[in-house]
């Protein structure tokens, strides 16, 4: 039986309908949830999705997971949680201007990094290697596992029982996974689509060949805008790069010169923030203008028509697409592979690898019900239990587990 909406003595106002463009995802036409539930008296389906994400355990853990910089080093650097909040802010801004359902865009932004491991991409790279014999590790597939299985707080089901539009948007964060004949695309071309996504797709088709909704596309681009800009901000403040290095970076160098011309002698801290805010504004305004141009050019009259296009409808213009590539091309060697970061990465990678090996060899060391479950199953199932456990850890919990099992943990500063 479906849940009953909360009974109330007072007359609740009708759910306010946001003004939606024809290409928006209409919450009144959601394809619904795997487990049927009565509608909320006060919230749209996507507002409920957003609220379920915010109240999840996986969401709270983002506060103590590394984005790029190990957060204990300096309190002002981004964590996965502050990154996620910035992505949500940008996604809402883009969605609102395009006439999209900004609650759906926000919910997808808040959920987009739930599948990330401790220690940023370092943890993911290690788990990917450790899990190679048993289907690998993919953070989008892990996000799907979390919201469909691993969160175990609701009485009637595992996961958060999100709408189809949320699940579709999460797995297609990087675009379609397969072509129209079912052949895996892009990063899935080599290893195939992760088993968890295929399993869910067999139960409830996520139409892996199509683009996701415009709201999901907005959330994905908001992710790029947020980390391009905040990684420059954090790297400047960490002293990994300086203004001189930025002068040669397409677009960013122009903004730095613009700030210097408009505000001669401005102090370093304010200059950094002026660059950051201008970067976000220019990227956001560019995405809004280019996406409106595409949606009109393709004459998209529904969310289905957005999905059916052969390219994304929410996009940077060619000029800022080139700037986006230039920024990423600069950040990779100069920040993500900076010698100071490389040392921390190595130590963090060792922590994850040691934990995985130890738990695989002796599953009785796993806490709670996991030890028994891991003792009574196949090696592949045990590997997935260990992988889920480690992937869910915060940075400091992983270090504490390393200390518990090995008597010491590296100082990741
Ligand atoms: Mg992200």
**Domain definitions of the chain by residue range:** 43-203, 214-337, 340-406
Tokens 């950094």 belong to residue: 272
How far, in Å, is the centroid of ligand 1 from the Cα of 109? 8
* Residue of 328, 327, 346 whose CA lies nearest to 70: 346
Rounded to the nearest angstrom, the distance between the alpha carbon of 82 and the centre of ligand 1 is 10
- 75-89, 164-178, 251-265, 288-302: segment of lowest average pLDDT: 75-89
Tell me: pLDDT of 7 over 50: no
Q: Which of 29-33, 135-139, 221-225, 373-377 has the lowest mean pLDDT?
A: 373-377
Q: Is the pLDDT of residue 120 over 80?
A: yes
What pLDDT does residue 40 have? 92
In angstroms, what is the span from residue 83 Cα to ligand 1's centroid?
7
How far is 92 from 101, CA to CA, in rounded Å?
A: 9
Tell me the CA–centroid distance for residue 220 and ligand 1, in Å.
8
Using pLDDT thresholds of 50, 70 and 90, give the confidence band for residue 73.
low
Q: What is the pLDDT of residue 191?
A: 86
The answer for 44, left when phi > 0, alpha when psi is -120 to 50, beta otherwise, is beta
Q: Which of 146, 148, 128 is nearest to 138 (CA)?
A: 128
Question: Across residues 177-204, what is the average pLDDT?
Answer: 92
Q: Is the pLDDT of residue 410 over 60?
A: yes
User: Could you tell me where the DSSP H helices lie in 184-338?
Assistant: 188-191, 195-203, 214-238, 243-247, 252-262, 268-297, 303-307, 318-331
- What's the whole-number mean pLDDT along residues 369-385? 92
Q: How much distance in Å is there from the Cα of 217 to the middle of ligand 1?
A: 13
pLDDT at 269 over 90: yes
CATH number (3.40.50.970, 1.10.3210.10, 1.10.357.10, 3.30.2130.10) of 43-203 reads 1.10.3210.10
**Cβ neighbours for 305, distance < 8 A, ≥ 6 positions apart:** 23, 298, 299
Distance 113 CA to ligand 1 centre (A): 5
0.85 exceeded by pTM: yes
CA of residue 202 to ligand 1 center, whole Å: 27
pLDDT given for residue 74 in this prediction: 63
Confidence band of 260 (pLDDT split at 50, 70, 90): very high
Tens-digit pLDDT profile for residues 302-352? 999 999 999 999 999 999 999 999 999 999 999 989 988 888 899 999 999
CA of 62 to the centre of ligand 1 (A): 11
Confidence of residue 1 (pLDDT cuts 50, 70, 90): very low
Mean pLDDT value of segment 77-84: 91
Let me know: does 166 contact 159? Beta carbons within 8 Å.
no
Task: Give the CB-side neighbour count of residue 271, counting CA atoms within 13 A.
Answer: 21
What percent of the chain has pLDDT above 90? 82
72 pLDDT higher than 70: no
What average pLDDT does this structure show over 404-409? 94
| Cα separation values, 189 from 31, 36, 184, Å | 29, 35, 5
- How far is ligand 1, taken at its centre, from the CA of residue 232, in Å? 15
CB neighbours of 384 closer than 8 A, spacing ≥ 6? 131, 134, 135
Q: How far is CA 298 from the centre of its chain?
A: 28
Q: What is the mean pLDDT of residues 88-99?
A: 97
Q: How far apart are CA 8 and CA 132, in angstroms?
A: 52
Does the pLDDT at position 13 exceed 70?
Answer: no
User: How many Cβ atoms are within 10 Å of 357's Cβ, its own excluded?
Assistant: 12
Torsion sign over Cα 210, 216, 222, 227: negative
Q: How far is the CA of 155 from the centre of ligand 1 (A)?
A: 30
Is pLDDT above 60 for 211? yes
Ligand 1 centroid to Cα of residue 223, in Å, is 5
- pLDDT > 70: percent of the chain: 95
Rounded distance from Cα 67 to ligand 1 centre (Å):
8
| Average pLDDT value over all residues in the chain | 92
Structure tokens at 255: 């903004």
Residue 200's contacts (CB-CB under 8 Å, 6 or more residues apart) are 144, 148, 167, 171, 206
C-alpha 87 – ligand 1 centre gap (Å):
7
Measured CA to CA, the distance from residue 46 to residue 52 in angstroms comes to: 10
Q: Would the pLDDT of 206 be above 50?
A: yes
Q: Number of helices and strands (H, E) in the chain?
A: 19, 0
pLDDT at 2: 44
CA 139/CA 89 separation, integer angstroms: 22
Q: What pLDDT sits at residue 189?
A: 85
User: Three-state DSSP class for 15?
Assistant: coil
Q: Is the pLDDT assigned to residue 70 strictly greater than 70?
A: no
Q: Ligand 1 mean position to 11 CA, how many Å?
A: 40
Q: Where are the beta strands (DSSP E) in 125-219?
A: none
- Mean pLDDT over 67-86 rounds to 78
Expressed in angstroms and rounded, the spacing between residue 361 Cα and the centre of ligand 1 is 33
> What average pLDDT score do residues 126-145 get?
95
Which pLDDT value is given to residue 341?
86
Instruction: Determine the pLDDT at residue 9.
Output: 60
Under a CB-based contact definition with an 8 Å cutoff, are residues 303 and 24 in contact? yes
């Amino acid at each position: 039986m479906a849940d009953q909406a909360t009974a109330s003595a007072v007359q609740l106002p009708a759910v306010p309908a946001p003004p939606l463009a024809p290409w928006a995802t209409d919450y009144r036409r959601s394809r619904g949830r795997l487990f049927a539930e009565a509608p909320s008296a006060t919230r749209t389906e996507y507002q409920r999705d957003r609220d379920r994400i915010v109240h999840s355990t996986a969401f709270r853990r983002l506060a103590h997971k590394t984005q790029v910089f190990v957060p204990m080093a300096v309190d002002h650097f981004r964590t996965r949680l502050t990154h996620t909040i910035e992505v949500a802010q940008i996604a809402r801004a883009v969605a609102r201007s395009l006439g999209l359902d900004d609650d759906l865009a926000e919910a997808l932004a808040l959920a987009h990094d739930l599948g990330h491991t401790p220690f940023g991409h370092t943890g993911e790279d290690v788990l990917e290697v450790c899990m190679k014999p048993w289907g690998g590790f993919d953070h989008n597939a892990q996000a799907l596992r979390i919201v469909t299985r691993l969160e175990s707080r609701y009485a009637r089901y595992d996961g958060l029982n999100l709408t189809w539009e949320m699940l579709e948007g999460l797995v297609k964060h990087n675009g379609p996974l397969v072509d129209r004949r079912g052949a895996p695309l892009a990063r899935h071309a080599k290893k195939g689509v992760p088993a968890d996504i295929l399993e869910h797709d067999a139960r409830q088709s996520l139409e892996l060949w199509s683009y996701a909704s415009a709201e999901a596309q907005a959330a994905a681009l908001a992710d790029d805008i947020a980390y391009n800009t905040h990684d420059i901000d954090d790297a400047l403040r960490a002293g990994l790069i300086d203004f001189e290095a930025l002068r040669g970076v397409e677009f960013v160098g122009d903004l730095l010169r613009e700030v210097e011309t408009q505000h001669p002698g401005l102090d370093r801290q304010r200059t950094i923030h002026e660059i950051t805010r201008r970067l976000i504004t220019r990227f956001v305004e560019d995405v809004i203008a280019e996406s409106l141009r595409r949606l009109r050019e393709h004459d998209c009259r529904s969310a289905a028509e957005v999905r059916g296009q052969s390219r994304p409808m929410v996009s940077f213009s060619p000029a800022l697409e080139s700037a986006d590539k230039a920024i990423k091309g600069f950040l990779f060697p100069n920040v993500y592979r900076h010698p100071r970061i490389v040392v921390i990465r190595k130590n963090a990678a060792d922590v994850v690898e040691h934990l995985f090996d130890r738990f695989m060899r002796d599953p009785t060391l796993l806490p709670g019900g996991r030890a028994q479950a891991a003792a009574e199953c196949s090696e592949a199932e045990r590997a997935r239990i260990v992988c889920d456990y480690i992937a869910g850890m915060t940075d400091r919990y992983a270090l504490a587990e390393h200390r518990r099992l090995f008597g010491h943990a590296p100082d990741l500063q």
